[in-house]
Each structure stands twice: as structure tokens, then as C-alpha cells.
Chain A
Amino acid sequence: EVQLVQSGAEVKKPGESLRISCKGSGYSFTSYWISWVRQMPGKGLEWMGRIDPSDSYTNYSPSFQGHVTISADKSISTAYLQWSSLKASDTAMYYCARLKAAAGRSFHFDYWGQGTLVTVSS
């Protein structure tokens, strides 16, 4: 059974750093990209970026480029999303999702993690 299990909820102060995780199981972790998706309170889904766990190549949405870093450790089948300096506006639910993509032929998120709630407040 394919599963993506995310780390638990976090409460941080503005300016602090944070790394959240997403562990894949039940499939070959290096055969599928992992994406991160933000959902701010009461708002819609926003695609943040993706990583190819086989070589750690990343792409970011222009809206998130430079604000977050996506990484992966294929030896433990885990992807990460990290911030170096959090802002109150980073308060949101963050989902990881397995991205099935092939140039021009497929692009969809077939499995999702349960979400990690990040709250940034002074």
C-alpha cells in the first residue's frame, strides 16, 4: 500500500527555521517525484514545487522560489520542506503528494500525505 506519512504539527515564532518531512512507503521512492502543496486557512490549494528523489533535482513555483527549500534523502525515502526564517504568512497546512509526471504525457498527484499544520505566531 502506497503511503506518504508527514511529520506532526508545528508551532513556531516569526524568524525561526523549520523543516517538515514526508516519508514514502509501499513503492519505489526514487521512481516518482514528490510535490509540496500549501493550503492557507480557508483557502485553496497552491503548488509549491517538486523534487525528483533519484537526483534531488527541484523545480519551484515562481511564487515560492527563494522562500522555501525542497530536499530529499532517498536512503530513508523522505522528502523535506524547509524555511530559514518563518513569517506569520507561512501559517498553513502543507501537504506532500506523489507526482506522477512524464514530459507532456502525465501530470497528477495520485497519493497525498495527511498534511502538516504549521502555525507561526509571536
Chain B
Amino acid sequence: QSALTQPASVSGSPGQSITISCTGTSSDVGSYNLVSWYQQHPGKAPKLMIYEGSKRPSGVSNRFSGSKSGNTASLTISGLQAEDEADYYCCSYAGSSTFGVFGTGTKVTVL
């Protein structure tokens, strides 16, 4: 099972919106609406930001939103803030034999 494909880096200025893509296959992203997104600051554990494609856990800013089209899921951060600078990973359910597969990760830089 190969990792889901994410861009290595995305950048934006404060206040702007950015979108991170997460491309899988018809065996994972395309088959299930079970993509989740995680934010990881340097030296810290990952934090759940989006689950089941577009749902936000309690306490996560509504500036974060998720969507999916075909085999590609996306995370959009609107009103970019300095604190959003971090690594972001997607993860998809991939069936009962493989279970879970993470994306390659995207470094978000706030200019």
C-alpha cells in the first residue's frame, strides 16, 4: 500500500487561503469518505483537525475545512495565521486488510 500523495510544501501570506491536496486511489480515498487530516508542529504529537472528510472536532477553528472529489481529498485553511505553520498529513481508511494509510505530508509556511 503506497502512501497518499501530498505536495511537499504550500505557502501563503497571513489572511490568505491555501489548499492542500491528498491523492489516493479507488481503493482508499475514492472508496470511503473516511479521510482525516492532522496538524503537527515541530517536536509535537499530531493533532486531529478534520475527520470523515469534512467534520471538525470540538475546539478546531472553523478556518479549517475538508472536502473530497474522486480519489483526491483536500484541506483548506482560510484566513491563514502564523500559528498554522506546521506539517499536515492526510490519512484514509483503505479497507479491512490494509486499514490505514497516511499521506506523504505537506509543510505549510506562512510568509
Chain A contact residues, CB within 8 Å of chain B: 35, 37, 44-47, 49-50, 59, 61-63, 95, 97, 100-101, 103-110, 112-115
Q: Which of B46, B48, B100, B105 has the most CB of A within 10 A?
A: B100
Closest to B3 in A: A44
Q: Is the CB of A44 within 8 A of B46?
A: no
Tally of B interface residues using CB under 8 Å: 27
Q: Which B10-64 residues have C-beta < 8 A from chain A?
A: 32, 34, 36, 38, 40, 45-48, 51-52, 57
Instruction: Tell me, rounded to whole Å, the shortest Cβ–Cβ distance linking B92 to chain A.
Output: 8
Known contacts: A61-B1, A62-B98. The answer to whether A109 contacts B91 by CB under 8 A is yes
Q: Considering the chains assembled together, what is the distance between the CA atoms of A12 and B105 in angstroms?
A: 29
Q: 8 interchain pairs (CB within 8 A)? A: A44-B103, A46-B3, A104-B32, A105-B34, A107-B91, A108-B52, A109-B36, A109-B46
Q: Considering the chains assembled together, what is the distance between the CA atoms of A37 and B47 in angstroms?
A: 13
Chain B contact residues, CB within 8 Å of chain A: 1, 3, 32, 34, 36, 38, 40, 45-48, 51-52, 57, 89, 91-93, 96, 98-105
Closest to B87 in A: A44
Interface of A is mostly: strand
The residues of B that contact A110 with a CB separation of less than 8 Å are: 48, 51, 57
Known contacts: A95-B45, A107-B34. The answer to whether A47 contacts B103 by CB under 8 A is no
Q: Is the CB of A106 within 8 A of B51?
A: yes
Q: Is the CB of A107 within 8 A of B104?
A: no
The residues of B that contact A106 with a CB separation of less than 8 Å are: 34, 51-52
Q: Considering the chains assembled together, what is the distance between the CA atoms of A105 and B51 in angstroms?
A: 11
Q: Which of A50, A107, A109, A114 has the most CB of B within 10 A?
A: A107
Instruction: Tell me, rounded to whole Å, the shortest Cβ–Cβ distance linking A111 to chain B.
Output: 8
Instruction: Tell me, rounded to whole Å, the shortest Cβ–Cβ distance linking A66 to chain B.
Output: 15
Closest to A43 in B: B105
Known contacts: A44-B105, A106-B34. The answer to whether A112 contacts B45 by CB under 8 A is yes
The residues of B that contact A103 with a CB separation of less than 8 Å are: 96
